[in-house]
Structure 1
Amino acid sequence: MAKKNKTPNLYDELNFARFGVISMHTRVDQSITHWNTEFAVNGRTFRIEAVTPQGRPHGIDTDTLVALETLFISHDCPQDNWVHTTAYEVRELMGLANNGENYHRLRQSIRRLYFTSVIVGRKTTLAGSQRVAWDNVGVRFFEGLRYRDHDDDGDLNTLDSEATLSIRLGEQLAESIRAGISHVLDGHLLHQLEQPPARALYRTLQAHRRQDDGSLLSELRVPLVDWRQATGLTTDRSDLVRRALTAAHDELLANRYLESATIEGRGKSAVAHYVFADTNSADPALVVMLRQAGVSVARAATLASLYPERVELALQFLEQRRMNAGGTVRNPGGLVADYLQNPEKYAVPAEFTPPAQARQEQAVRRHQKAEHEAQQQAEAHLERLGSASPVEQWESQRSTLQLILKKQLNADQWSQLEALACAGEIQAVDLTRTLIAATASTGLKEAVDQLRRRLNPLLPLEL
Structure 2
Amino acid sequence: MPKKPKNPNLHDELNFARFGVISMHSRVDQRVPSWRTEFTVNDRTFRIEAITPQGRPHGIDTDTLVALETLFVANGCPGDNWIHTTAYEVRELMGLANNGENYHRLRQSIRRLYFTSVIVGRKSTIAGAHKTAWDNVGVRFFEGLRYRDNEDDGELSTLDSEATLSIRLGEQLADSLRAGISQVLDGHLLHQLEQPPARALYRTLQAHRRQDDGTLLKELHVPLREWRHATGLTTDRSDLVRRALEAAHDELLANQYLEGAVIEGRGKNAVARYTFADVNAPDPALVVLLRQAGVTVARATVLAARHGDRVEEALRFVEFRKGVAGGAVRNPGGLVADFLENPAKYELPAEFTQVEERRQASRAQSEQWKLRAEQEAQAQAQAYAERLESASTSQQWEAQRATLQLMLKKHLNAQQWSQLEDLAQRGEISALELSRTLVGAAAGASLPEEIDRLKRRLNPLLPLE
- Go from structure 1 to structure 2 and tell me whether the alpha carbon gap of 1:107 and 1:357 turns closer, same or farther (over 3 Å shift): closer
Distance 1:114 1:246 in 2: 30
Letter paired with 1:104:
H
Q: Residue by residue, what CA displacement relative to the aligned partner does 1:306-352 show, whole Å, maximum 9, x if unpaired?
A: x9649999xxxxxxxxxxxxxxxxxxxxxxxxxxxxxxxxxxxxxxx
CA contact 1:22–1:56 (8 Å) conserved in 2: yes
What is residue 51 of structure 1 aligned with on the other side? 51
- Go from structure 1 to structure 2 and tell me whether the alpha carbon gap of 1:36 and 1:86 turns closer, same or farther (over 3 Å shift): same
Q: Pairwise CA RMSD of aligned residues?
A: 2.9
1:283 deviation in Å? 3.6
CA contact 1:218–1:279 (8 Å) conserved in 2: no
What is residue 200 of structure 1 aligned with on the other side? 200
Matched, 1:15 2:15: yes
- Go from structure 1 to structure 2 and tell me whether the alpha carbon gap of 1:356 and 1:42 turns closer, same or farther (over 3 Å shift): closer
TM-score (norm 2): 0.61
Distance 1:206 1:85 in 2: 27
Gaps of 5+ in 1: 287-303, 314-354, 365-463
What is residue 108 of structure 2 aligned with on the other side? 108
- Go from structure 1 to structure 2 and tell me whether the alpha carbon gap of 1:200 and 1:281 turns closer, same or farther (over 3 Å shift): closer
Report the 3-state secondary structure (helix = DSSP H, G, I; strand = E; otherwise coil) of the residue aligned with 1:77. Answer: coil
What is residue 136 of structure 2 aligned with on the other side? 136
- Go from structure 1 to structure 2 and tell me whether the alpha carbon gap of 1:83 and 1:105 turns closer, same or farther (over 3 Å shift): same
What is residue 84 of structure 2 aligned with on the other side? 84
What is residue 42 of structure 2 aligned with on the other side? 42
Distance 1:132 1:242 in 2: 32
1:18 deviation in Å? 0.1
Q: What are the equivalent positions in structure 2 for 1:214-293 lying under 5 Å apart?
A: 214-278=214-278, 283=283
Letter paired with 1:122:
R
CA contact 1:149–1:158 (8 Å) conserved in 2: yes
Distance 1:141 1:5 in 2: 25
What is residue 448 of structure 2 aligned with on the other side? none
TM-score (norm 1): 0.62
Distance 1:248 1:312 in 2: 38
Q: Residue by residue, what CA displacement relative to the aligned partner does 1:337-375 show, whole Å, maximum 9, x if unpaired?
A: xxxxxxxxxxxxxxxxxx9877335899xxxxxxxxxxx
Distance 2:187 2:285 in 1: 12
Distance 1:107 1:43 in 2: 36
- Go from structure 1 to structure 2 and tell me whether the alpha carbon gap of 1:309 and 1:358 turns closer, same or farther (over 3 Å shift): closer
Distance 1:362 1:14 in 2: 37
- Go from structure 1 to structure 2 and tell me whether the alpha carbon gap of 1:254 and 1:18 turns closer, same or farther (over 3 Å shift): same
Distance 1:18 1:358 in 2: 35
CA contact 1:39–1:47 (8 Å) conserved in 2: yes
CA contact 1:85–1:165 (8 Å) conserved in 2: yes
CA contact 1:150–1:157 (8 Å) conserved in 2: yes
Distance 1:64 1:285 in 2: 33
- Go from structure 1 to structure 2 and tell me whether the alpha carbon gap of 1:205 and 1:358 turns closer, same or farther (over 3 Å shift): closer
Identity %: 79
Matched, 1:68 2:53: no
Report the 3-state secondary structure (helix = DSSP H, G, I; strand = E; otherwise coil) of the residue aligned with 1:203. Answer: helix
Name the larger-Rg structure. Answer: 1
Report the 3-state secondary structure (helix = DSSP H, G, I; strand = E; otherwise coil) of the residue aligned with 1:241. Answer: helix
Letter paired with 1:38:
E
Distance 1:36 1:279 in 2: 37
CA contact 1:39–1:45 (8 Å) conserved in 2: yes
CA contact 1:23–1:56 (8 Å) conserved in 2: yes
CA contact 1:77–1:174 (8 Å) conserved in 2: yes
What is residue 33 of structure 2 aligned with on the other side? 33
What is residue 388 of structure 1 aligned with on the other side? none
Distance 1:108 1:194 in 2: 20
Q: What are the equivalent positions in structure 2 for 1:34-433 lying under 5 Å apart?
A: 34-278=34-278, 283=283, 309=309, 359-361=344-346
Distance 2:311 2:48 in 1: 43
Distance 1:201 1:312 in 2: 34
Q: Residue by residue, what CA displacement relative to the aligned partner does 1:22-75 show, whole Å, maximum 9, x if unpaired?
A: 000000000001000000000000000000000000000000000000000001
CA contact 1:14–1:182 (8 Å) conserved in 2: yes
Letter paired with 2:207:
A
- Go from structure 1 to structure 2 and tell me whether the alpha carbon gap of 1:281 and 1:167 turns closer, same or farther (over 3 Å shift): closer
Report the 3-state secondary structure (helix = DSSP H, G, I; strand = E; otherwise coil) of the residue aligned with 2:278. Answer: coil
Q: Which runs of 4+ in 1 moved over 6 A?
A: 310-313, 355-358
Distance 2:285 2:27 in 1: 34
